[in-house]
Amino acid sequence: MVRGKTQMKRIENATSRQVTFSKRRNGLLKKAFELSVLCDAEVALIIFSPRGKLYEFSNCSMNKTIDRYQNRTKDLMSSNSTAIEDVQLEKEYDSFSMTKKLEHLEVCKRKLLGDGLDLCSIDELQQLERQLERSLSKIRSRKYQMLKDEIMKLKEEEKMLLEENAALQIKVISESSKKQESNQRSESSNHEEIMDVETELFIGPPERRSNNNNNNNNNAFL
């Protein structure tokens, strides 16, 4: 039969609680004995029942084990206290060191800006000069690099604009050519229509057409 899982809470029934205490107490005492024998460990176990009755087990002197426990606890507390003090001292030293570094950086900053140079020696002034020259060289190098990048960018934009302009010119020439061809076709069509009209007006041999023109002129003179 499978045993159900016991809930870790106070047993309300007094009889069940007493039975469970007796069973678990005997099991705990047995485990303590086995641990001391199998592992050669110094074990001391103290149990007080709900009614105040004492149950204990020790594979050696109970008082000796308790004294050893108390001494060990004092040593741990002392070592922890020392460790805490060391940590605090280290933090204070780090804070002091950081403050000194910040003050030194502030003094260097003022000197680089030209303030507080009256108390500087020749060597310090030369060192500041070299530092400023190195900084100026880096600034110029960075400026030239930025200008170079900007010029390359402008050249790429110029190339793109030239390509777009060339494409637009080709498009304009193509449209102009198409328009010219259309005009030529239109003029040719108009010329053919005029020829057709003249052909319809003058039908017959050329001699007859000349006689007709002379008669018309004589009539007009009369």
186-202 pLDDT tens trace: 777 766 665 554 444 44
pLDDT of residue 220 exceeding 50: no
Q: Give the residue, 58 or 5, on which the prediction is more confident.
A: 58
**Which residues, other chains included, contact 17 with Cβ-Cβ below 8 Å and sequence gap of 6+?**
10, 11, 50
Beta bridge partners of 54: 48
Where are the strands (E) in 32-174, listed by range? Answer: 44-48, 54-58
Residue bearing tokens 């061809």: 181
% pLDDT > 70, the chain: 79
Q: Give the residue, 213 or 23, on which the prediction is more confident.
A: 23
> Which CATH number does 16-60 carry?
3.40.1810.10
**Domain spans, the chain:** 16-60, 74-116, 120-167
